[in-house]
Structure 1
Amino acid sequence: MSRGLAAMADRNFRWFFLARAITMVTGAMSSIALAFAVLEIDNDPFSLSLVLTAFTVANVVFLLFGGVVADRLPRALVIQVCYVLDILSIGTIAALLFTGTASIPAVAALAAMNGASTAFVMPAMQGIIPQLTSAENLQQANAMLSFVRSAVTIGGPVIAGILVTTVGPAWAMIVQMAGWLLAIPILAMVRLPPPAGDGGFSLFADLREGWSEFWSRSWLVVVVLAFMIMNAIHVGAWGVVGPYIAKNDDRLGIAGWGWVVSAEGLGVLLMTLVLMWFPLRRPLRFGMLGMSLFAIPLTMLGLHPAVVIVAIAAFLAGAGAEVFSTGWNVAMMENIPLDKLSRVSSYDMLGSFVVMPIGTLVYGWLITHAAPATVLITSGILYAAIALATVMVPSVWRMGRTEAATARD
């Protein structure tokens, strides 16, 4: 089998990849379906913010617990159970919409249930991949999954928009449920040994053990701290200020912003193909250098928000982000003990995500008190400075691949 598809030689990975691809394809429309479902109930942005906040808060609250459970129980089983809960929560929202009985408090509660479920799925997904394939195929496995993810990120919202406008958001949710229903029996085909451990379960002891593994690695702590700020800048500058400029500057425009976002996704997509064939010898060094490229579209958005220029910059940034994404996953999977990987991943996710809601609020305030161009250019400089400073940390700069992973290169 060719190098780029080498992970497909592993039976367990083939079944997992199929299940994951199905849920990514059908789940790509989830955010749009939920947003328009809420606005169909109550055409008020505050109601939408309540529902999205309910999802986010539940996700953050249960994330560390999800990491413990994913390390203690069979990870495929954890994912299957969570899919059942997702079917129940999203299915109930769809039923309420079909019957005309949906309310914002009910949808918020069900969104919180979905957010809590996701908090268990994410660490389980991170921890299961090294169990499915060999060390030398880890990069290809992660790149293949990223390829599907980036492809559906480009096409999923378009399909969702068509479904929502033609038959309504409830039917888009039915499609999503169908994906989970298909994935559950496919995941049952994954055959893995039982989790290692003494069989005991102590939440706080397990959390302390995961924290000890996390804190003992300087490269891990430094990168997570960097992303705590970088993600806040990303969601604020790109997610709030970007659309604001698109709406109010004719050089970009709303349609132009769509092209920019698509260009970023295309950069991710094409880089996944490159990474399926070419090994990352220094995954964190090149990954953080890749992340620093995001400063370019941020700065250009402030200096001269013309569609072509910003789209080209966004394409480069998307490619750089995928170098980091694949490199980071490989570094985690090769250097964290398998029986603690989900817990350490949950600390990584918590640290990386926790400041993002604050970033959204801060940038919403900033653009009402300062010129958007000043905000964006300053954000670009700060973003690049953080990413490049992280590269210079010795443990980040020197991080290489394991001997097993480079045996075939």
Structure 2
Amino acid sequence: MPDSSARASWAGRNYSLLTAAAVVTSLGANGSLIAAAFAVLDSGGDGGDVGLVAAARTLPLVVFLLVGGAVADRLPRHRVMVAANALNCASQAAFALLVLTGEPRLWQMMLLTALGGTGQAFFSPAAEGMLLSSVEGEHAGRAFALFRMATQGAALGGAALGGALVAALGPGWVLALDAACFAVAGALRAFLDVSHIPARESGGGMLADLREGWREFIGRPWLWGIVVQFSVVNAVVAASNAVYGPLVARDSLGGAGPWGLALGAFGAGTAAGALLMTRYRPRRLLLAGTLAVFPLALPSAALAVPVSPGVLHGVMFLAGATVEIFGVSWMTALHQEIPEDKLSRVSAYDWLGSVALIPLATALAGPAQSAFGRTPALWGAAALVVTATALVLLIPDIRELRRHDSRNTAASHATADTEHSPKGQPAESQ
């Protein structure tokens, strides 16, 4: 264990507040994903309607992410985060009220989830920039691993509890719980300290900020390569989890409870993977992380069979554990390579690429099932994960990017504007 002075370098006030707030929102959000799907099904909708509601959340995320990133690099990030939490709280509370008091219509559910996606578009770049700037030095990788372990542990509890509450009480109460979680998290984030972050220079305008962020993004092949990879991976995984998973659960697994446990098993796997990453420090950050993405194909394959609930839970646990190797490695690489004043803009391009295809994939999941059948669609999703991950390994920088040691981390930030190639840098990875 690190000594107290070392621990203080990555577990200060901001890190603690960010972790606590993220735990609270993870508890609510993972239950609300199940609740939203079953709210649609309980109102008479089908798989296509579930996909449309899921797409309604991610479409404004795509539209507003770049603006959100530019705003977060101009305004105090904690204020952007609190405002976004307030919008998410209001939209989920209205969704819950709609479900609890009547027969929700599809357009109403789409509108409210779209408002939630808008809040997420402004929140995500600000939150990632704030977290990355809250830690420093050689313990950054451990700090990110512990952050993810805490939030994924909350995801485990939230998914399992959410599935049980949906089965016992109905989806409306789970949506109301999510709204309350956003309110608590926003209150915690209001106390973040941004005095250590240098004031941004005025001038240039938002378009200039976006162009500067684009140059930072496109000048790093490892960065845009993995974002392109995850534009495919996230899209097919989202379609499997948001659309096909609830349908398979309803038809073959016994309903919302087993599916909630499956999502909880994935969360447990990510918590276990994050725990592993507090000790495991591979020299080549992104090579180790990318190899660990391949098991993300397994849940779609398991749903395609479909396997028994127990086997599905084991597969989900394995996929969660291995993908967390990527998650911690990715955060460490961003923290190490991207200048602090550009973190939110780069994060916005990262998020944009990563979610760009999700609305299309979730909206087309229902029609794809009608055209090809659910089983072929799920096998196709698994194949796309494997193909996209294999192709990204062709980029040399992804195979060669190495972790900096504590002696040259500061130097790497000072030269990050001009040295875009990771080759030749010292090693290790999350």
**Structure 1 and Structure 2 fold alike (TM over 0.5):** yes
CA distance 1:281–1:155, shift in 2 (3 Å) = same
How far apart are the structure 1 equivalents of 2:308 and 2:175?
A: 36
Q: Shift of residue 91 of structure 1?
A: 3.0
Range moving further from structure 2, 117-126 or 269-278: 269-278
Report the CA distance between 1:18 and its aligned residue.
1.8
Q: TM-score, normalised by structure 1?
A: 0.84
Q: Report if the CA contact (8 A) 2:160-2:263 is conserved.
A: no
Which runs of structure 2 are paired with 1:235-314 in the superposition (5 Å)?
235-236=238-239, 240=243, 260-299=262-301, 305=307, 311-314=313-316
What is the 5 A alignment of 1:125-274? 125-164=127-166, 169-193=171-195, 194-200=197-203, 202-236=205-239, 240=243, 260-274=262-276
Within a 5 Å distance, the mapping from 1:114-129 to structure 2 comes to 114-129=116-131
How far is the alpha carbon of 1:319 from its aligned partner?
A: 1.6
**Residues 178 and 406 (structure 1 numbering): CA distance in 2 closer, same or farther, change over 3 Å?**
farther
Classify 1:258/1:128 alpha carbon distance in 2 versus 1 (closer, same or farther; 3 Å): closer
**Range with bigger deviation, 198-207 or 325-334:** 198-207
Distance in 2 separating the partners of 1:114 and 1:182: 16
Q: Counterpart of 2:398? A: 396
> Structure 1 259/115 Cα, relative in aligned 2: closer, same or farther at 3 Å?
closer
Hey, what's the Cα distance between the residues in 2 that align with 1:246 and 1:50? 19
Q: CA deviation at 1:21?
A: 1.7
Does the CA contact (< 8 Å) of 2:10 and 2:134 recur in 1? no
Which residue is 1:82 aligned to? 84
Q: Deviations over 1:17-42 (max 9, x none)?
A: 222222222333222344455566x4
SS in 2 for 1:293: helix
Separation of aligned partners in 1, 2:316 and 2:28: 26
C-alpha distance in 2 between matches for 1:3 and 1:288: 32
Cα deviation digits, residues 295-330 of structure 1 (max 9, x gap): 455556657845565554443322221111111111
**How many residue pairs were aligned?**
406
User: What is the CA-CA distance between 1:123 and the residue it aligns to?
Assistant: 0.7
Q: Are 1:66 and 1:119, in contact at CA under 8 Å, matched by a contact in 2?
A: yes
Note the C-alpha offset of 1:229: 2.1
Contact 1:264 1:311 survives alignment (8 Å): yes
Residue 257 of structure 1 deviates from its aligned partner by 6.0
The corresponding residue for 2:346 is 344
**How far apart, CA to CA, are the structure 1 residues paired with 2:291 and 2:407?**
22
Check whether the contact 1:263–1:311 (CA below 8 A) recurs between aligned residues: yes
For 1:358-373, list aligned pairs within 5 A. 358-361=360-363, 364-370=366-372
Deviations 1:85-133 (A, max 9, x none): 2233333344555665965544443332221111011111110112212
Letter in 1 for 2:79: L
Change beyond 3 A, Cα 1:32–1:210: same
Kindly tell me: are residues 257 and 100 of structure 1, through their superposed partners in 2, closer, same or farther at Cα, counting changes over 3 Å?
closer
Which has the larger displacement, 298-307 or 335-344?
298-307
The answer (yes or no) to whether the contact 2:163–2:261 under 8 Å persists in 1 is no
Whether the 8 Å contact between 1:74 and 1:195 is mirrored in structure 2 is: no
Cα distance change on mapping 1:102 and 1:3 into 2, 3 Å: farther
Determine whether 1:19 maps to 2:24.
no
Give the stretch that moved more between structures: 269-278 or 136-145: 136-145
Relative to structure 1, the CA distance from residue 48 to residue 359 in structure 2 (aligned partners, 3 Å threshold; closer, same or farther) is closer
Q: Please say which of residues 254-263 and 308-317 is displaced more in the overlay.
A: 254-263
For 2:160 and 2:317, how far apart are their aligned partners in 1? Answer: 19
Given that 1:3 and 1:277 are in contact with CA atoms closer than 8 Å, whether structure 2 keeps it comes out as no
Inter-partner Cα distance in structure 2 for 1:400 and 1:39: 47
Q: CA deviation at 1:73?
A: 1.0
What TM-score does the superposition give when structure 2 sets the normalisation length? 0.80
Gaps of 5+ in 1: none
Any unmatched runs of 5+ in structure 2?
A: 410-427
Identity across the alignment (%):
32
